Structures are given as structure tokens and as C-alpha cells.
A and B are shown apart, each in its own frame.
Chain A
Amino acid sequence: MRGQQLLPTLTAEEIAEIEEEINHLPDRKSAAIDALMIVQKHRGWVSDESLGAISRLLAMSVEELDGVATFYNLVFRQPVGRHVVMVCDSVSCYVMGADDLAKEVQSQLGVRFGETTPDKRFTLLPIVCLGACDKAPAMMIDEDLIENVSSDRLQSIFGAYA
């Protein structure tokens, strides 16, 4: 009931999408992951402020919600660039030369894994097996799966993401 501070809020659209998930679940809390992903879809990541707003919407504590958020690798609790590049580092891709690819990607983007390019264009992250093992090595940029990646294709691949 300490109602005076200005609390950060979610947009009507975000709330509508989250409520839609809640409608199909037995309780509000169960929508925690969906809600985090929905907000992330709109804002790129889940800030402390967003986290607070989501926790209020779901009637759960921030601690509990952040416990959930920090468990899942696809929930970003730190800001990311406009595009998220995820390079598979699992075994099939490894066999097909993912280590060399990873080095090449880092040098082309000029950042290491976990970092964002200074122009905020790309955030580079490792990812586990993308289910594209027969077309290894693979990577994913945003929602696009890119298969049979080779170093010489990288430049044109990245070029498609402004």
C-alpha cells in the first residue's frame, strides 16, 4: 500500500499478451516465463524496472521472479544489441569446426562472447545445440537459423542485419 512512488508499468499491449497467457493457466504466477519473454520481445531485455512491473502484474515477489529469470538463458537481464548472434558450441558443430568459426565470428564482430558491439548492433552469445547438427556448424541470429556456416560467408550473413 505504499502507493506514492511512480512505479514503472508495462504497456497495454504487453499486459494484454500476458493476460492472454494467464487465461490459459491455473494461476497468475505460472505465466512468469511467458511474461518475461513477452516483455523481452518488446524491449529486447528485462530490466530491473520491467522485472518489478511484471512481478506486480503476476502478484509474485520480485525475488521469486528473478529467481526464475536468472535460471533461463534466453531471458536477458542485461541489455543486448539490436541483433543477438548465437553461435552453437555443442558437440556436432564442434566436430564440424565450430571452435574456428567462433574465433572468426569474434574477430569479425570485434567482440568476445557475452559482449555487445559498441554500435549496439550485435550481441554475441554462445548457444547449445540448435538442432541443426546435420548442417553444422550452425548459428542463430534473432529468430533466424543459419546452417552450414563457414567463415567466408560470415560477412554477407552479418550484412543482412542492420
Chain B
Amino acid sequence: MAKFFIDGVEYEAKAGENLLQAALSQHLDLPYFCWHPSLGSVGACRQCAVVEYRDENDKKGRLSMACLTGVREGLRVSIANSRAADFRKTVIEWLMQNHPHDCPVCEEGGECHLQDMTVMTGHSVRRYRQAKRTWQNQDLGPFIGHEMNRCITCYRCVRFYADYAGGTDLGAFGSRGRMYFGRVSEGTLENEFSGNLVEVCPTGVFTDKPFAKQYTRKWDLQSSPSVCTGCSVGCNTFAAERYGQLRRVHNRYHADLNGYFICDRGRFGMHFVNSDKRIRMGGVGVGDGTFEARGTERVLETASALVRSDQALIGIGSPRASVESNVALKWLVGSENFCPGLADADAAATHELIASIASDACCIPTIAEIERADAVLVLGEDIADTAPRAALALRQAVRGVSFAMAQEAGIPHWQDAGVRGHAQDHRHPLFIACAGTSRLEDVAEATEAMHPEDAATFALDLAEVIAGKREAFEPGTFAARVSAVLADSKAPLVVSGTSQGNASLVRAARDLAVSLKIAGKQSMLLVAAREANSVGACMVGGSLSMSEALARMADGCSVVVLENDLYRRADAGRVNAALRASSVIVMDVLETPTADGASVALPAASFAESTGTYVNYECRAQRFYQTFQPEGEILPSWAWISRLASERGSDPGWDSIEQLTRQCAEQGFAGIEQAGPGSDYRFAGISRIARQTHRYSGRTAMYADETVHEPKSRIDSETAFAYSMEGANSGRQASATIPYVWSPGWNSNQSLFKFQQEISGPWMQGDPGVRLDPSWYLRHEAHPSDAESLAAEGEFRSVPIFPLFGSEEQSARSWPIVRRMPAPFAVLHPQDAARLGLVEGGGVAVLAVGRSCEVRLDAGMPPGVVGIAAGLPGKDVQPHCRTDLSPDPEFVRKMDGEPGVIARG
């Protein structure tokens, strides 16, 4: 630590830390643009100038850029000094010369870093009278808007997109006063982290295009802390609503998880909430897959008749529903009649993940910890698709070596260009043993095409070699390289996932991580689960597997299906039979094929309309809070379950989400209530938390066409938030309840630093969420058995491939995502394809799934293996073990299923 002085006041910071970061960590106001906590310093904008003094006798000093100045013992600087302040104002004057001053029509207005800095530096009179430069903008696809005239050339966009996220299709072009940031030619920005440009760009060049279509100022949004439903990482988000529509999702910082960035599935996948395919009213099935919408009372009558009947009642939970709703359902039907709703294979693999979490023998890393790995082996699962935020962390992990090299050369770690230039292409080794080319390939040291089953065997062999129980691999082979690297590493990371539904793969990955730990390493194991709450749902337990539940249904019973489309869990034939023979009550957010076959459908609240808890891949329980109250009859699933219970005359013992959460804590989820405070929480004992910013302007005007009376804001009985701008949000409250960031003078998301203990440190009150101990589940709940291999036959072994856009059920029905979704495809090694006479883009009939797919060629596919798009909307996604392939000359490329979502606005 070093003591240093800013404007005569003594502070402390890590010696060598950059001064800008140190000043911001003290919550001082010091303007900047090009610096970013995750991107480091490059010194381009010159906005962060301070006066630096040689010693205490130096009264004049000289200007220095804080972001390029290392803190050292006794350093003396001034932010307030008039020369520094005047320089900073001049920098804004320069930046404003060509800026269009189009704030009134700019999507960034009101939360613009450039606006904030302009006001903060005091630049207000324009002296530049020469012509402004102008640009043509580009259509960058469905996610990102582009308005180059607003650019202030801070280089953050390319530094994030290309340097940090590995994107290849955004560049910096030209030079001098004519720098252009965009693509070589118009077209969709391909990188799956493109959405972060919206937050990284300090002005309105890159904007959230879907949001712009139904645009609202930040101060007119009503927000709450939420958790992404996109995958098992559980990135924290801010969800924001206006007029009953979920308008956007932004990154909600979490030091251990998503940090400053989320993926595009998370950011743009939430528009399903506003979909026309929402179930908004209770309905009773009239047989042929159509529903008659009826009022709640009449629907509940039908439903409770089913629940009350003599028929046996079972419940099928869901990995996309909250822990609370799952536990409620389990309570309703009894543990012996409850299935957590995962496909058999998925349940078995997820169980292995949970067993790994519980085991002392391996460390399940946070996303931040992933970045500290010094050797990585990815086994059998392309996590670039299934846990994108974790894949982004892997990109940073391999860069780790550059920081070590830089340190040796005396280059500070935050000096981004210096570190990159010095390290060149040196990286920590990352190996990929998967079927199909991963988007991480560009940072991989070596890859080997492997079917997941072979990857499992490979991991076991490696574990034995490391344990010295087996002879070393033949020199020069991939296996030999991997084992040498792992043996050399200090903090190796083994990466796999459950998407393959292969429990032995997860076990093998664990065995490898354990053997590395025994070999004295700080070994880590990252296993991605399938869905946002796969781990939570699995831990709810219950006696029934999916097959057993379907068998019970086929025998005839009543069943409550909680936010689940059974067609995604088992093959269509079995689901058809089960639905036909049973009386089904479905509660769900969107219409699904399962709901089509139900007797009763109940409108369930989405994540944005309800409060609950998800458990992520590392067993971290995270609370999401209701953003807005849904219109009409929509209720959270657990509330429907309460209603069913009371119809049946039983008392669930809860009548609020809080009480239910407490119940969960007693039923194996000890500690879950600490994921976030309940409705009785008040900041400083008195204040609710405001969902709206101080400047919320619409309240008196928004319904003026109907009434001129100011509407009373709704009282929220479920949470500690207020549907109002009255309330607290200083960052001093419980960190799980921070609904947005804003601080005087800092309207943009940069205000985050005022909420952090220090830059990139935890929130003021620590980071939200709580890691649960799954041992209760392991002790008390039935262990799913490994799924049996399906006996299909054929020439090719198949492997499911889950495309980032389209394979997650709900986001696949978000209109911007729909525009990026692939049609069903099959991936083959070019030689296999050539042998079968298949060409890229042509059709191939995949016998085992009973349909034709678009052919994709990929030399990263092992010969004899076919990758089949999985998880896309439609009814037949269960990958089989083997299949035959044949050309389909009639093939026409089309989307399967019916995304059924329209773009509004």
C-alpha cells in the first residue's frame, strides 16, 4: 500500500495502481472516457488530467494523465487545480467540436457519460465555428444501432469488442480527425458480446436497437435487480419496464460473476416477456390444442376439480422456474410424486455437477476465479454456446501470462497496449477437446476433435497419468501436450458441461480436477449446467425421473406442469402419449406445445413480473425481484399453486414469496433467504427502495389521456421496493436490492463506481447472492441414475450442438434473438460430407431425428460424428446416439417450430 495525496488529503491505494482508478475508488469525481476498469488505460482521451507535483514544495506542478500515472508513496496531485480543471474543460471543448449535440433525439441522452463529463467540466460555450465532420452509419444487425456522428474516438468499442471479447468484425478505420468505428461493410455484428458496446460506448454511437424501438429515457424506467435466465452462469442484470413492457436489460455488476459484461442472449433474450404468445389469461383446453380463455375463477374451478379428483396427482417442476415455485409444487404433490423437470440425462449430469460442488476435492470457480487459471482444458462441451460469460472469462484467463510478462518488464498491468504489445501472442495454454469448432479456437493452443464420450475417456486417462497410475502418453500427441501442460500448471481449470447429458463426462472431468488437486495444484472445475435454475431444480429433488413421470402420466393421472415444455425433455412420442392419457394443468409464461395439449393453462409471471431465486452452476442462490406488476390475470406460479392448494383445502403455510423462501430454507436450501432481503426490509430502517430514479417524469403525464388525476403508485406487498421515485438507492442498502445505478453528476452507468467499495471490488455492502451447501440434497434426495443410451443404430455417432441463439427456450422467443437463430442444421466433417455427397448449405436427412437439416461443414468435427442442432424451437430435439444420414435434394431451409413473437414499435 502507498500513501498519497489528492488536493492535500491523504489516501491509500495499492502501490502501482493507476491514479485514476485509485481516485475513483475513493469516490472522487474525476472525468475520464477511454479508461475502463476491465479494459485498462490507454491514454487516448486525455480527459483524466490532474496536476502532479514533484514534492510538497512544488507549487506549480505539471499536467499528468491520472490513468497513466502509477500511485507511489508520497505522490502529490490535484484534481481541483484550476489548470487541470481548465484543461479537462478544453478536452470536452475539443470533443464537442464535431459532436452533433443531438441529445434530445439520442438514445443515450440522460444516461450519457459524455453529457455527464460535459456538465462536470463546465464546458458550455461553443467557440468552434468551422464545419463539422459527418459520417454514414451502418446497419449492424438486429441488436446494435450505430450513429457515428456522436463518436468521441475513445477507442473503447474496439478495445472491448476485438481485444477483450475476441470479435473480429468491428474495426477502427482511418486516422487523424477522421476515425471511423464500424465494420468494413454493413452487416450484423457477429460477436456474442456485442450488446456490451451499448454500455461501453460513452456516448450514443452504439445503442440498444430493440430498446430504441420502444424507447424510454433511463429516468422513466422502473427497474429492479434481476438475474439472467439465459444460462446457468446467472449473470446479474437490471431489468427495466415502462407501460407494462419490459424494455431492456442491462448488466448489473457482480465482482465474482459477470463483472461489467453480459452476453447478447442475456441482453436481448428478454423480449419474450412482451410477446404476443404470452399466456395472459387462464384457459381451458377444448381438445384440439386450442383454448378457450375464461376468467380465473372458472379456470380455477376446472383445475381444482382435477387436483381434487381421485386421480393420483403428480407435479413436474422446471429448471427455468424459481426454486420457490418448484418447492411449492413439490409440497403440493408430495416428494414421491414430484419430478424436478429435467430430462433424464440432464438430471444425471446435473446431479454429478452438484456432487462436485459438494465435494471438498475440487474447487468450483467463480467467473472471476476462472480468469486466474493458468492452464485450461475444455472437455466435450462448447461453453462458448452454453455458458458464454464463462467463455469470455476463459479469454481473459489465457491472457494471464501477459500480465506476468509485463510485470517482469516493469509494465503496469493496467497499461493495456503495453501489456498486449509486450506479450504479443503469448498465452496461457487452453486446450479444447470437443466435437465441432469452438469460437474459443482462436485463443486455443491446440484442439482435438473428440466425441464427448471420447472426451470422457480422455479425461480419465489424463487423470491416471497425472496420478502416476499410467504410463505417459506418446510424445508429440495432443494428449501428451495436454498432460505436460497440466503437470506444469499451478492453477489448472477443467471445463465441461451437462449439455451433452453425459454424466460420465462430468464425472471424468471431476476425476481429472481431483487428480490435479491431489498433485498439489489449485485445480478448478467448471461445469456448465443447462439452464438458469437447473442446479436449483435438481436440488429440489423428488422421487420421479422424467421417464417415470411420463410413465405415470401415460397410465393416467392428474399432473401439474410448472413452466416446462415436456417436449424439450423427452421424445415427442412419449410426451404425446403422456399428455393424451392424463389431465394436465400447465402454468407457463409462453404458449408451448405442452400447453397446447393441456386441460388447463394458467398464466404464469415471467422473471420480470415475479420474485424468486435461481441457483447457478456454482450453487449460488440469487434473488431476482419483480420489476413490474403484470397486467391481467398473470400470477407467479407459486401463487397459482397456493390457489390450487386452498381449493383443495390445504394450507401451504405461506402466503408470500418471503414465507415460501423461508420454507425452502427448511427444505434443503439452508441459507437461501440470504440471497436477498424480503418485503419487510427497509433501508436505514425506514425507506423502501425506489424502482424509479429521482427524475421519473412520466407519472403525472403518462395516463393523461385517460385521467388528469395523478395515479397513486402501487403498493408493493411482495418486495421492499416501491413503484415510485420515493425511496432510497444510494448503494448503502443491501446490495441485492440495487435496482439501477445513479449518483449526482453521474447519470450514466459509470456511476457504478460510486456503489462499489473500490473499483472492481464488491458492492458497498458486499456482493449479493449466497453459495449454498448442497449436501442436504445429496443426503436426502434420490439420485438420478445415468440415462441409458438409446439403442438407435446408424453409421454416425451424434452429438447435440446448442447454438447460443435459439437453444434456450425463452430467449428463442425474443424477437431480436429470433433474427439471429439458425435453422436446424447438422455439422459434419468435410470428408464425411464428401463421401455422402453432401455440400455446405444443402439438406441432409437425419434419420434419428426424423427430419432434414441444413448441412454445415466443419473440419473440427470428428469423422464419423454428426453434430445436430439441439434445443431449437420444435418438438424433436432429443439427440440420439447413432443415426444414419442421407442427402435430401428437396431440402428447403426453414426455421422449425413457430417463434411466434413479433417485433413491436
Contact = CB atoms under 8 A, between A and B. Distances in A.
A67 B171 contact: yes
Interface stretch (B283-291, B464-472, B855-863): B855-863
B857 A3 contact: yes
A3 B424 CA distance: 30
Contacts of A2: 840-841
B162 A1 contact: no
Nearest to A29: B425
Interface stretch (A7-15, A58-66, A147-155): A58-66
B857 A66 contact: no
Contacts of A4: 839-841
B25 to A, nearest CB: 34
Contacts of B841: 2, 4
Contacts of A17: none
A48 interface: yes
Nearest to B172: A67
Interface in A50-82: 51, 61-64, 66-67, 70-71
Contacts of B183: 63
Residue from B175, B856, B859 with most neighbouring chain A CB atoms (10 Å): B175
A3 B856 CA distance: 10
B174 to A, nearest CB: 5
B20 to A, nearest CB: 27
Given A1-B859, A4-B840, A4-B841, A63 B174 contact: no
Q: Size class of A's contact patch?
A: 10 to 19
A119 interface: no
A27 B839 contact: no
Contact of A3 (B173, B437, B840): B840
Contacts of B134: none
Interface in B798-831: 830
A134 to B, nearest CB: 29
B839 A64 contact: no
B185 A48 contact: yes
Contact of A70 (B169, B173, B830, B840): B173
Contacts of A70: 173-175, 180
B170 A63 contact: yes
A67 B857 CA distance: 30
Contacts of A67: 171-173
Nearest to A62: B184
A61 B189 CA distance: 13
B857 A1 contact: yes
B168 interface: yes
B857 A63 contact: no
Given A63-B170, A64-B168, A71-B174, A48 B184 contact: yes
Contacts of B858: 1
A152 B847 CA distance: 82
B175 A1 contact: no
Contacts of A48: 184-185
A64 B162 contact: yes
B856 A1 contact: yes
Contacts, number: 47
B168 A61 contact: yes
B840 A66 contact: no
B840 A61 contact: no
Contacts of A62: 169, 184
Contacts of A51: 184
Interface residues of B, number: 24
B169 A63 contact: yes
Nearest to A69: B173
Interface string B151-173: 00000000000100000111111
Contacts of B830: 1, 3
B425 A27 contact: yes
Contacts of B169: 61-63
A143 B331 CA distance: 86
Contacts of B437: 1
Contacts of A3: 830, 840, 857
Contacts of B856: 1
Given A1-B840, A3-B840, A27-B425, A66 B171 contact: yes
Interface in A17-61: 26-27, 48, 51, 61
A63 B184 contact: yes
Nearest to B185: A48
A88 to B, nearest CB: 19
B175 A64 contact: no
Given A27-B425, A48-B184, A48-B185, A64 B840 contact: no
A63 B183 CA distance: 6
Interface string B92-124: 000000000000000000000000000000000
B171 A63 contact: yes
A27 B174 CA distance: 24
A4 B833 CA distance: 13
Nearest to A63: B171
Residue from B170, B180, B184 with most neighbouring chain A CB atoms (10 Å): B184
A3 B183 CA distance: 22
B365 to A, nearest CB: 30
A4 B841 CA distance: 9
Nearest to B839: A4
Contacts of A26: 424
Contacts of B173: 66-67, 70
A2 B169 CA distance: 16
Contacts of A27: 425
Interface in A94-147: none
A153 B449 CA distance: 69
Nearest to B168: A61
Residue from A48, A62, A63, A70 with most neighbouring chain B CB atoms (10 Å): A63
A96 to B, nearest CB: 26
Residue from B168, B425, B859 with most neighbouring chain A CB atoms (10 Å): B168
Contacts of B168: 61, 63-64
Interface in B172-188: 172-175, 180, 183-185
B151 to A, nearest CB: 15
Nearest to B425: A27
B589 to A, nearest CB: 36
A66 B425 CA distance: 21
A2 B855 CA distance: 10
Contacts of B174: 70-71
A53 B660 CA distance: 62
Interface in B227-262: none
Contacts of A64: 162, 168, 171
A103 B839 CA distance: 59
A77 to B, nearest CB: 10
Contacts of B425: 27
A72 to B, nearest CB: 9
A26 B425 CA distance: 11
Contact of B175 (A61, A63, A66, A71): A71
B181 to A, nearest CB: 10
A55 to B, nearest CB: 9
A67 B161 CA distance: 14
Nearest to B180: A70
A64 B170 CA distance: 8
A15 to B, nearest CB: 22
B839 A66 contact: no
A110 B514 CA distance: 78
A4 B842 CA distance: 11
Closest 3 CB pairs of A and B: A63-B171, A61-B168, A67-B171
Given A3-B857, A70-B175, 17 more contacts: A1-B840, A1-B856, A2-B840, A3-B830, A3-B840, A4-B839, A4-B841, A51-B184, A62-B169, A62-B184, A63-B162, A63-B168, A63-B170, A64-B171, A66-B173, A66-B184, A67-B171
24 contacts: A2-B841, A3-B857, A4-B841, A26-B424, A51-B184, A61-B168, A61-B169, A61-B171, A62-B169, A62-B184, A63-B169, A63-B170, A63-B171, A64-B162, A64-B168, A64-B171, A66-B173, A66-B184, A67-B173, A70-B173, A70-B174, A70-B175, A71-B174, A71-B175
Interface of A: 1-4, 26-27, 48, 51, 61-64, 66-67, 70-71
